[in-house]
Amino acid sequence: MGVQTVAQLLQHIVAVELRFAERLADQPATDYANVPYDSIEAIYATHDRTLALLRKLLDSEMNWDEAIEFSTRAMGPARSARKTILFHLLLHGIRHYAQLSTLVRQHGVKPGWPMDYLFMDIEPV
Convert the pLDDT of each residue in 78-105 to its tens digit: 999 999 999 999 999 888 888 888 888 8
- CA angle (53 as vertex; 24, 23 as ends), nearest 5: 20
pLDDT band at 48 (very low <50, low <70, confident <90, very high): very high
Amino acid identity at 75:
M
pLDDT reported for residue 1: 60
- Whether 14 and 46 have beta carbons less than 8 Å apart is answered as yes
Amino acid identity at 124:
P
Residue 88 annotated as binding site = no
What's the mean pLDDT when you consider all of the chain?
90
What pTM did the predictor assign?
Answer: 0.84
Structural domains of the chain, ranges and CATH numbers in brackets: 6-121 (1.20.120.450)
